C-alpha cells in the first residue's frame, strides 16, 4: 500500500462492513506501523511484510465479493466524495454557487480550477459526511436547482473552451414534491441536452454509486470512467426489487441481475475504463485513490485531444451513446 491516511478519513465516523473487517484491521495496523517507522527505521521490514499480507488478503477476499457487497462498498460512508478528490487533484479551485433562477443546491458542487496546468470545469455530486452536512447536502440527492447549476457550468465551459470533468456519486435525483414542482425532469433533461452538444471534451468519473437520471445528468461524456467498486444503474437494487418482487429486502438478488458493477459495465460498454482502487477500497487511502483518478483523467483528456475539433468531439460523444446496447455479430 502507498500513500498516507487522509485527514478526511480520520475525521469520518468509524464504519466497517462485515466482509471487510479482516482487511480493515490490517490496514489500521499498517497505519500505526507507518507512523512509528517515521522515527524507527527498524520497523520497515515488518511494515513491508504486513503490507504484502494485507494486499494478498484483500485480493483474495474482494475477488469473491457479490454484486450486492460491491453496492455496499460503493455507498460506504467513509468513501471519498467529490470534494475529497477535488482538493487533491485540482489546483486553484474556485467553487461557483447558484442556478440564477431559484437558489443554490449543496448536493451539487461546481466550479473552475486547473488539472496538470490545464483549466477545467468541474461538476460533481456531494454527499455529506457528518449528520448536519448530510442534511445540508440532502444525502447527495440534487434538487432541480442543483442540475440547473450544473447546466450553467456546462454552458459556460462550452462557451470558453474548458474541458468538463464530472464526478458521479448519487442514489438518484431527489423525488420530493418540491423538486417535482420546480421541474426536476426538465432540469435533468436540460443537462442531458447541454452535455450532448457541448463543444469541449467531457470526462465523467463514477466515484461511488451512480443512480438513475440523477447520475446521467452528469454522465453524457466522451469517456466514462468508474472506480473499481463503483456502480451505475437506472434504479437502486432496493427499488428494482420492490417493483419486480414487491419486496425491497431482495435487493441482493436485484443487484446480481442488474449488471451494475464495474466489470459488467465495461463488458457491456456502458463505461470505458475501470480505475483500480487502493487495497481494501478507496476509503482506506484517499490520497492513493486520488492519485489513481488523477492519472486516469489526465490520460483520458490527452487521448481526447486527438479526436479532433469541437464538432468531432460532439460526434464522438453521439457515436459512443448510440453504440450502447447495439446488437453485434
Over the chain, what is the mean pLDDT?
90
The per-residue pLDDT for 76 is: 94
pLDDT at position 7 over 60: no
pLDDT digits (tens, 9 = 90+) for 106-156: 999 999 999 999 999 999 999 999 999 999 999 999 999 999 999 999 999
| pLDDT of the residue at 218 | 97
Which of 40, 64, 88 is at the close of a domain?
Answer: 64
1 within some domain? no
Distance CA 212, CA 125 (A): 13
Q: Which domain CATH number covers 301?
A: 3.90.226.10
Query: Which of 30, 45, 64 is the endpoint of a domain?
Result: 64
pLDDT > 90: percent of the chain: 74
Residue 115's domain comprises 71-323
Q: Which tens digits make up the pLDDT trace of 290-299?
A: 999 999 999 9
Final residue before a domain boundary, out of 29, 64, 99: 64
Note whether residue 6 is domain-resident: no
Residue 182: predicted pLDDT: 95
Q: Tell me, yes or no, whether 159 and 250 share the same domain.
A: yes
Q: Is residue 68 over pLDDT 70?
A: yes
266 inside domain:
yes
All residues at 6 or more sequence positions from 172 whose CB lies less than 8 Å from its CB, including other chains: 141, 211, 212, 213, 214, 215, 235, 236
Q: Is the Cα dihedral 313, 225, 170, 135 positive or negative?
A: negative
Containing H/E element for 231?
Answer: strand 231-233
pTM: predicted TM-score of the whole model, two decimal places:
0.89
Residue 161 has pLDDT above 80, yes or no: yes
Residue 10 counted as domain residue: no
Query: If DSSP codes are grouped into helix, strand and coil, which group holds residue 245?
Result: coil
Judge if 187 and 234 occupy the same domain: yes
Q: Are residues 252 and 129 in the same domain?
A: yes
The residue ranking higher by pLDDT, 200 or 328, is 200
Q: What angle do CA 198, 201, 206 make, to 5 degrees?
A: 100
Q: Clarify whether residues 36 and 80 are in a common domain.
A: no
- Position 277 pLDDT exceeds 50: yes
Using CA atoms, how far residue 211 sits from 49, 164, 173, 218, in Å, is: 40, 20, 8, 11
Strands (E) located in the chain: 91-96, 108-115, 118-125, 164-170, 202-211, 223-227, 231-233, 273-275
Domain co-membership, 81 together with 59: no
Other CB atoms within 10 A of residue 4 CB: 13
Q: Which residues pair with 205 in a beta bridge?
A: 167, 225
* Domain-embedded: residue 11: no
Kindly state whether residue 51 falls inside one of the protein's structural domains.
yes
Based on the domain organization, do 86 and 192 belong to the same domain?
yes
Are 243 and 272 part of one and the same domain?
Answer: yes
> Is residue 21 in a domain?
yes
Question: With 50 as the cut, is the pLDDT of residue 2 above it?
Answer: no
User: How many domains, the chain?
Assistant: 2
- The per-residue pLDDT for 62 is 79
State the cell numbers at 260: 451494475
Amino acid at each position: 500500500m502507498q500513500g498516507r491516511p487522509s485527514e478526511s478519513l480520520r475525521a469520518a465516523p468509524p464504519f466497517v462492513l462485515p466482509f471487510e473487517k479482516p482487511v480493515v484491521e490490517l490496514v489500521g495496523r499498517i497505519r500505526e506501523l507507518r507512523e512509528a517507522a517515521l522515527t524507527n527505521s527498524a520497523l520497515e521490514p515488518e511494515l513491508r511484510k504486513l503490507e504484502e499480507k494485507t494486499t494478498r488478503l484483500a485480493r483474495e477476499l474482494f475477488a469473491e465479493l457479490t454484486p450486492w457487497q460491491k453496492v455496499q462498498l460503493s455507498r460506504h460512508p467513509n468513501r471519498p466524495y467529490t470534494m475529497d478528490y477535488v482538493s487533491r487533484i485540482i489546483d486553484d479551485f474556485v467553487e461557483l454557487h447558484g442556478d440564477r433562477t431559484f437558489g443554490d443546491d449543496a448536493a451539487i458542487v461546481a466550479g473552475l480550477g486547473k488539472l496538470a496546468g490545464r483549466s477545467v470545469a468541474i461538476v460533481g455530486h456531494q454527499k455529506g459526511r457528518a449528520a448536519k452536512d448530510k442534511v445540508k447536502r440532502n444525502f447527495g440527492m440534487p434538487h432541480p436547482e442543483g442540475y440547473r447549476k450544473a447546466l450553467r457550468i456546462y454552458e459556460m465551459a462550452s462557451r470558453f473552451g474548458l474541458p468538463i470533468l464530472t464526478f458521479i456519486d448519487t442514489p438518484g435525483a431527489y423525488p420530493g414534491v418540491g423538486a417535482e414542482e420546480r421541474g426536476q425532469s426538465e432540469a435533468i433533461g436540460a443537462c442531458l441536452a447541454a452535455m450532448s452538444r457541448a463543444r469541449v471534451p467531457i470526462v465523467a468519473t463514477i466515484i461511488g454509486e451512480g443512480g438513475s437520471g440523477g447520475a446521467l445528468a452528469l454522465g453524457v461524456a466522451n469517456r466514462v470512467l468508474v472506480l473499481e467498486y463503483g456502480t451505475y444503474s437506472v434504479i437502486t437494487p432496493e427499488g428494482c426489487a420492490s417493483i419486480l418482487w414487491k419486496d425491497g429486502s431482495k435487493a441482493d438478488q436485484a443487484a446480481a441481475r442488474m449488471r451494475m458493477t464495474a466489470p459488467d459495465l465495461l463488458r457491456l460498454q456502458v463505461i470505458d475504463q475501470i480505475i483500480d482502487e487502493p487495497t481494501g477500497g478507496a476509503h482506506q487511502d484517499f490520497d492513493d485513490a486520488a492519485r489513481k483518478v488523477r492519472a486516469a483523467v489526465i490520460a483520458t483528456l490527452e487521448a481526447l485531444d486527438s479526436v479532433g475539433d469541437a464538432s468531432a468531439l460532439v460526434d464522438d460523444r453521439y457515436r459512443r451513446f448510440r453504440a450502447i446496447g447495439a446488437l453485434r455479430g
